[in-house]
Amino acid sequence: MIVRTSRKKAVRVVAAGFAAALAGAYVLYAGHDAVVGVCLVLAALFALLYGFGSLADRRPRLVLTERDITELDTIREPIEWEAVRHVDDVYYRGQFWVRLLLDRAYKPQRIRSAGFRRFDRIYASEGLRAVY
């Protein structure tokens, strides 16, 4: 099974880019503050570039096989299913995250912190390690 990025999020970013472009064009056309109009147009340009890039990006983020799970953004090495104790999704600050709770003894080479230090301390007390 292959898990990819959200198309819904990319469409929202593109729509926000078009809205910012329209707002910037209106501010520039109406003769109000030119600096605000240029800033809105530049923000719209970057939002459109990111949104269209996200729509075109079809690389897998997670690959689930019978033997292991591989996260292709940061860790890029397989995590054996024997080390995984629990898998679920977490809704945190407006975004869904996939949480893997691993045995504390299992140490993949590259696990970056996702900024969930409070949760990491709770899992460490239970002998687990969280990967997001």
Co-location of 51 and 87 in the same domain: no
> What are 89-105's pLDDT values in tens digits?
777 777 777 777 777 66
The pTM (predicted TM-score) of the whole model is 0.58
Range of the domain at 6: 2-56
- How many distinct structural domains can be found in the chain? 2
- Sequence-ordered alpha helix ranges (H) in the chain: 7-30, 34-56, 117-125
More confidently predicted of 28 and 122: 28
Co-location of 87 and 43 in the same domain: no
Is residue 22 situated within a structural domain? yes
Residues 127, 104 contacting (CB under 8 angstroms): yes
pLDDT value at position 99? Answer: 73
Is residue 63 situated within a structural domain? no
Is residue 116 situated within a structural domain? yes
Q: Reply yes or no on whether the pLDDT at 53 is more than 80.
A: yes
Co-location of 124 and 90 in the same domain: yes
